[in-house]
Amino acid sequence: MTEKIRLTFLGTSDAIPTPERNHTAILLAYGKENILVDCGEGTQTQFRKAKLNLGKVTRLLITHWHGDHVLGIPGLLQTLALNDYKKTLYIYGPKGTKKFMKNLLDVFVFTGNLSLNVKEVDEGKFFETNDFYLESKRMTHGTICNAYAFVKKGKRRIDKNKIKKLKLPHGPLMKKLKEGKNITHEGKKYFAKDLTFIEGDKKISFVLDTSENSKIVPFVKDSDLLVCESTFGSELTEKAKEHKHLTSKQAAEIAKKSKSKKLFLTHIGQRYSRNLAEILEQAKKIFKNAQLPKDLDSVEI
């Protein structure tokens, strides 16, 4: 079974939303999982516009606590509670997230009950099933900020041609290989990595709000889709550095160096509302397979 991963861009603006672009929020749907990456102001209404069910959200990944990435959280939680959300909502964010979440819910009269599980995550894998895992990496952005990756694990397949050539018997040895274990046959050792390959693995990375830093490329390496912030055009490289953001050209360089397959630019500065083509072209010159999604655009991977 190769279940698809669907990404919906609910908000693609930078700190100041425009009539066309909402604050950052991206929904990744895979099987029963609906993972929301950031939750800027207005996210819950974006859900409705996209005809998506807010009640299906399973996890919220917070990159950092700048307003444009979190101001939608109280509204989202209030609506979930009013709609009798029965699950536990798992919320992940950088250090400080527990305190921020508490403060956020202390500023108004919260109606209803909601089961929340808030976890502060630093670097590495922080959630794993048989099928996929989530990992994070610390970025550089004025305030503590995480990049995230969703990795769907592939299935290990046997290279039948090699097995035939080596005249290895079917049966228990093949089962071992499928499990990634090395085998011995007639006194000779065979390595699983030489006789098998991984198929159907997918990686989607989210780099939202950071200045250029050496951790990004290794973290997003071989992404099938890299979602990367692009607050500025390359003519404002100095400004990007000063405000700890990336330019579309830098995002494209990251995509190229990391050997990612596709790049989606987001967190677009409002100054580019009328010349989006320009920042997209700057990226495309370096990395052809770049796109600049609109709010409510959706893609299957």
* Binding flags for Zn ion, 175-214, as an x/- string (CB under 5 A): ----------------------------------x-----
Minimum distance from CB of 249 to Zn ion (Å)?
Answer: 19
Active site residue 131: no
User: Could you give the CA distance from residue 36 to residue 245 in angstroms, rounded to a whole number?
Assistant: 22
**Pair of tokens at residue 81:** 């509670």
Contact 122, 138 (CB under 8 A): yes
12 vs 78 by CB, closer to Zn ion: 12
CA nearest to 126, candidates 213, 62, 42: 62
Minimum distance of Zn ion from residue 145's CB (angstroms): 7
Q: Please tell me whether residue 200 adopts helix, strand or coil conformation.
A: coil
- Which residue in this structure is represented by tokens 């976890």? 119
Among residues 21, 59, 66, 138, which is the contact residue for Zn ion, using CB under 5 A? 66
Q: Which of residues 263-292 bind Zn ion (CB under 5 A)?
A: none
74/6 Cα distance (integer angstroms): 25
Residue 105 CB burial class (10 angstroms; 0-12, 13-18, ≥19): middle
Q: Which is nearer to Zn ion, 140 or 289 (CB)?
A: 140
Binding mask 19-58 for Zn ion (x = CB under 5 A): ----------------------------------------
Q: Phi-psi category of 276—alpha, beta or left, where left has phi over 0 and alpha has psi -120 to 50?
A: alpha
Among 68, 120, 135, 295, binds Zn ion (CB under 5 A): 68
Residues in contact with Zn ion, counted by CB under 5 A, come to a total of 3
Residues annotated as part of the active site: 68
**Which residues contact Zn ion (rule: CB under 5 A)?**
66, 68, 209
